[in-house]
Amino acid sequence: MSLKLIDAFLEMILAERGAAGNTVIAYRRDLKELYNFLDSKKTRLEKATKEDLQDYIAFLKSSRLSAKTGARRLCAMREFYRFLYSEDIIKKNPADYLQSPKLNKSLPKYLTEAEIDLLIKGAQEKNKQIYFMFELLYATGMRVSELVGLPITVVTHDLSTLTIIGKGNKERIVPLNENARESLKNWLDERSKNEKKKNSKWLFPSSSKTGHITRDGFFKAMKTIATEKGMPLSRVSPHVFRHSFASHLIQHDADLRSVQKMLGHANITTTEIYTHILQDRLKKTVENSHPLSYSRREGL
């Protein structure tokens, strides 16, 4: 019965919460890990006690997982048992009031503004479509899955905003700055001159089965350009562009709530990973402005 309960839970988050496909896949994997752990203790999912789950948490802590993976597995476990309790499959929720280990949040990787410019210029020299995609990715902070699957209908008449369908089919409107509007206009002009692309329903068409450039295709193009510009591949990815967008906004005094809306985060706590930027900025402010700071004493 245990594995069928996992399927029932996944069907619920897909149907009732509109969970993204990748989320469902990740939760399935996480709950299978929990199933395997409990099975090794000769315990079924629906029979697990609070002590069993505490042992599982200790096991996760000893497994040296990344903070993100560990946090997701704990979340999957809690959500799963909340579901079982709400469906009256179990009479008591063993995940209630569990003490979870504090997981260190890994700081997001991001590039400097100069490094972003270098990649964008590299794309401009090599591939016009990828160049415009780089521009739009950096200007909006979109997820790569959102970028590659943009329909042509997202483009407004005045090019001032884009309506993006994000995780869970949630819609958000992202404003475009002047540079992004100019880039988008140039891409639409370029696209209209190409007989194979101008009638496509996708903003960034390709000959792939989907009809638009794929995530893998875009990532490969990004890696090629990074290599040509002498940048370590470990530092470059579409998600790093997203992190860079958010980090640079905060560096230039944007507030977290605005960044949250533009990134499409459901919860402000997700956006709070960027507070390291605020901390760096506050530190510099103290160093440069406090009357007892070393830099100011130097000038006395």
What structural domains does the chain harbor? 2-86 (1.10.150.130), 113-281 (1.10.443.10)
Instruction: Check pLDDT > 70 for residue 105.
Output: no
Query: pLDDT tens across 250-270, in order?
Result: 888 888 888 888 888 877 777
Query: pLDDT tens across 170-209, in order?
Result: 888 888 989 889 989 999 999 999 988 999 999 999 988 9
Tell me the CA distances in angstroms from 181 to 51, 130, 139, 199, 260, one per residue in order: 57, 16, 10, 21, 22
The pTM (predicted TM-score) of the whole model is: 0.62
Tell me the CA distances in angstroms from 261 to 130, 135, 148, 253, one per residue in order: 26, 20, 20, 15
Query: pLDDT tens across 126-140, in order?
Result: 899 999 999 999 999
Dihedral over alpha carbons 103, 142, 242, 136 (to 10 degrees) = 180
Query: Which is it for the CA torsion 144, 77, 108, 175, positive or negative?
Result: positive
| Separation between Cα atoms, residue 78 and residue 27, nearest integer Å | 11
**Residues carrying an active site annotation:** 143, 167, 239, 242, 265, 274
Instruction: Check pLDDT > 80 for residue 17.
Output: no
**Other beta carbons within 10 Å of 199:** 11
The closest of 213, 146, 155 to 180, measured between CA atoms, is 155
Query: pLDDT tens across 70-98, in order?
Result: 888 888 999 999 999 988 899 999 998 87
Tell me the CA distances in angstroms from 273 to 215, 237, 259, 263, 268, one per residue in order: 25, 18, 12, 13, 9
Query: pLDDT tens across 282-294, in order?
Result: 555 545 555 554 4
pLDDT reported for residue 106: 59
pLDDT reported for residue 222: 94
